[in-house]
Amino acid sequence: MIIQNYALDEWVIGKTVGQDLIDASTGEIFANTSSDGLDFGEMMKYARNTGSPALRKLTFYERGNMLKALAFHLQSKKEKFYEISYKTGATRIDSWIDIEGGIGNLFSYASLRRKFSDKPFHVEGEALTLSKNGTFSGHHLLVPKEGLALHINAFNFPVWGMLEKIAVNLLAGVPAIVKPATVTSFLTFVVFKEIIDSKILPAGSLQLICGSANGILEHLTFQDVVTFTGSAETGKKLKSHPKIIEESIPFNLEADSLNCMVLGEDAHPKTEEFSIFINEVKREIIVKAGQKCTAVRRIIVPEKFVEDVSKSLSTALSKVKIGDPRTEGVKMGPLASTTQRNEVFKNLEILLKESEIIFDKQNCDFDDNIDIDKGSFVSPVILLNKNPFKNKKTHEIEVFGPVSTIIPYKNLNEAIELSKMGKGSLCSSITTANDAIAKDFVLATASHHGRIVIFNKNCIKESTGHGSPLPNLVHGGPGRAGGGEEMGGIRGVMHYMQRTAIQGSPTTLTEITEIFQPGSEYKTPEIHLFRKHFEELVVGESITTHKRTITESDIVNFANVSWDHFYAHTDATSLEGTMFTQRVAHGYFVLSAAAGLFVDPAKGPVLLNYGLDECRFTKPVYPGSTIYVKLTVKEKVNQQKKNDEDIAKGIVKYYVEVFDETNEHVAIATILTMVKKINQNEI
């Protein structure tokens, strides 16, 4: 089987015989791949000149729908991926994390499109008034970078590693070149081929290099972004490449780290939390045979519970059957390659100079049908470091496999210090039923960990676990973990966009951003705004209402209807020492009265009131005050039909300014209305 590359929208076989790819369980050579002959410079030009323009012209909604369609397509092919995944040494559960976890990322980022407007660009935050009279304003605009994303991925998650990254750059409007680790690239190749065969993505959106990519960094430009997942040592070498430095190219490093799991002092062996801890540690050791960047390397436990943890964990691991993941009953497979196995043994020898073995292969349940010498099998190994403040190799050497070290502590301050000795990790966790302990640990260690999970009986049933990063939360960590971050919802998308501060008159910024900026010139519509369909409304169109004088009866009646009898509205004798000179109208009454002024009551395109944002009551309204309203189209947000029977519609954000008789603001708000479209056939 020849594993091909994908360049310039064509499948390419390397010109020479390349690297043999091996079944991790049997040692059988079943494939070969080479990148010899690929022109990396031309691949990058193609991404920039073909893929980038095609993606950049799409709106966030269109890009999100593209991801959604791709996710459904890959989901329909997942069983094919599982069969190939076994050759990487992954069990069904391991593969589920890799395959369906990766597809889940596509779904998650497809849904994230709703956090953006239906535009190719994104406007961030609120407008800023930069001058005394309001004629000069500023805002932040984000546009897709005009380069490409180069993803250099690790061997341990050949599907998830690719999909979790491309989901983000594609939603941002940036094409990618994917470079999976060659040793497991055969699985990436199978999934990638389905992506291309689906014809969902525009030309130039994705390219694939399965063989060596030596020299590829030389062709980067300042508009590109590089992401790397793998060892800290390799990551540092790539990050310090002259091209990265000269061009100031964003480089996101997500490195393997010495993650820790902490058992709280309150979680004694008879508690539910103790059992939770043992189960979570066991899972982190055996899933992917410990080949996870988030797997537990340091097990930090109270000194008084070391023996209990050692026995319980050893018992749990002794019941895990190790073998070919295609064999029924096998719960842990081999490492991905013999190279990786040798690396594990080499680093284990270093740790053994300062720690002792609690559990190893002599206590394991190996399947009788496997040939350990041919496969890449390694048993779980549990070590004990009795003097962790002196013997520091535990905090410096990572064994990227099923090897973890138990570390004792005397009190919470010691546990905190020990957790920090890893000098930065992707994740840590603490198992405790005591929220005060949890708070102290989190606040004292958050500076050293990219993610912290708190386990207890209240959340364990629905918890995603210590080692599972989630699309909407940041995945990354400080120090040894690389100092970068991936995913993180909107945060992740912005890594592939350029944030630019724009300054000018509010009217000009309104035209650029397609969002009404306070102080901008108003546009006069020919009919009431509530008589217009979604497509007909124009940002900046505004109406000014007739006026209404507020009376004491209004205030009393609203108090009786709402049951809001706050003293400032109902008891004039209690106002001494307050900011009010007489009974004041309820803020929500003022807003309700404003709605009565600006609403056009007859049936029309407006379907319903959808919500309220950014409401402020800026000046007291007393009996005798006269108010009027200026209603302005602030922003239009497209909505997609859920099905053919659904009404085609969009959300219109209206900027509501309520003035009194002195023409001063008394209230400002943004209201959202759901407005029908003219074209009901629109998807």
Residue 225 near residue 250, CB atoms below 8 Å: yes
- What does the pLDDT read at residue 27? 87
Strands 548-549 and 606-617: unpaired
**Residue 171 has what DSSP assignment?**
H
Catalytic residues: 254, 293
Task: Answer yes or no: is 480 within a domain.
Answer: no
Distance, in Å, from the CA atom of 32 to the CA atom of 323, rounded to the nearest integer, reads 25
Looking at the structure, tell me whether residues 190 and 289 fall in a common domain: no
Question: Which stretches of the chain drop beneath a pLDDT of 50?
Answer: none
Residue 90 near residue 333, CB atoms below 8 Å: yes
Beta strands in 238-377 (DSSP E): 251-255, 260-263, 298-302, 321-322, 356-359, 365-366
> Which residues face 635 on adjacent strands?
653
Residue 332 near residue 289, CB atoms below 8 Å: yes
Name the strand (E) or helix (H) holding 351.
helix 338-351
- Enclosing domain of residue 148: 39-255+491-498
State the CATH number of the domain containing residue 269. Answer: 3.40.309.10
Distance, in Å, from the CA atom of 671 to the CA atom of 648, rounded to the nearest integer, reads 20
Angle subtended at Cα 215 by Cα 211 and Cα 216, rounded to the nearest 5 degrees: 75
Which pair of structure tokens corresponds to residue 676?
């029908």
Residue 473 near residue 489, CB atoms below 8 Å: yes
Task: Answer yes or no: is 27 within a domain.
Answer: no
Looking at the structure, tell me whether residues 230 and 312 fall in a common domain: no
Q: Show the 3-state SS of 6-62.
A: EECCEEECCCCCCEEEECCCCCCEEEEECCCCCCHHHHHHHHHHHHHHHHHCCCHHH
Distance, in Å, from the CA atom of 599 to the CA atom of 601, rounded to the nearest integer, reads 6
Task: Answer yes or no: is 451 within a domain.
Answer: yes
* 621 to 523, 553, 569, 599, 659: CA distances (angstroms): 28, 14, 11, 21, 10
Looking at the structure, tell me whether residues 671 and 605 fall in a common domain: yes
Looking at the structure, tell me whether residues 340 and 407 fall in a common domain: yes
Whose CA is closest to 227, among 494, 470, 482?
Answer: 482
Task: Answer yes or no: is 423 within a domain.
Answer: yes
Looking at the structure, tell me whether residues 239 and 267 fall in a common domain: no
Strands 626-638 and 548-549: antiparallel
Looking at the structure, tell me whether residues 250 and 265 fall in a common domain: no
Task: Answer yes or no: is 516 within a domain.
Answer: no
Amino acid at 597: L
Looking at the structure, tell me whether residues 445 and 420 fall in a common domain: yes
Only one residue has tokens 């050293």, namely 448
State the CATH number of the domain containing residue 647. Answer: 3.10.129.10
Looking at the structure, tell me whether residues 289 and 238 fall in a common domain: no
Only one residue has tokens 């035209």, namely 511
Alpha helix positions (H), 424-505: 435-445, 490-494
Looking at the structure, tell me whether residues 51 and 150 fall in a common domain: yes
Distance, in Å, from the CA atom of 194 to the CA atom of 188, rounded to the nearest integer, reads 10
Distance, in Å, from the CA atom of 107 to the CA atom of 540, rounded to the nearest integer, reads 35
> Which residues face 306 on adjacent strands?
none
Identify the domain boundary among 483, 498, 513: 498
End-to-end CA distance of the chain: 43
Q: What's the total number of domains in the chain?
A: 3
Residue 518 near residue 506, CB atoms below 8 Å: yes
Looking at the structure, tell me whether residues 116 and 164 fall in a common domain: yes
Distance, in Å, from the CA atom of 26 to the CA atom of 580, rounded to the nearest integer, reads 82
Which pair of structure tokens corresponds to residue 409?
């502590």
Q: What is the CA radius of gyration of the chain?
A: 30
Burial classification of residue 229, based on how many CB atoms lie within 10 Å of its CB (0-12 exposed, 13-18 middle, 19 or more buried):
buried
- What does the pLDDT read at residue 683? 65
Enter the pTM of the model: 0.89
Task: Answer yes or no: is 471 within a domain.
Answer: no
- What does the pLDDT read at residue 14? 86
Looking at the structure, tell me whether residues 314 and 371 fall in a common domain: yes
* 351 to 236, 320, 387: CA distances (angstroms): 23, 24, 13
Task: Answer yes or no: is 644 within a domain.
Answer: yes
Identify the domain boundary among 465, 482, 512: 465
Distance, in Å, from the CA atom of 27 to the CA atom of 506, rounded to the nearest integer, reads 67
Looking at the structure, tell me whether residues 172 and 269 fall in a common domain: no
- What does the pLDDT read at residue 537? 95
Burial classification of residue 501, based on how many CB atoms lie within 10 Å of its CB (0-12 exposed, 13-18 middle, 19 or more buried):
exposed
Residue 332 near residue 339, CB atoms below 8 Å: no
Beta strands in 517-646 (DSSP E): 542-544, 548-549, 606-617, 626-638
- What does the pLDDT read at residue 349? 93
Task: Answer yes or no: is 654 within a domain.
Answer: yes
With residues binned 3-state (H G I as helix, E B as strand, rest as coil), the percentages for the chain, rounded to 5, are: 35, 25, 40
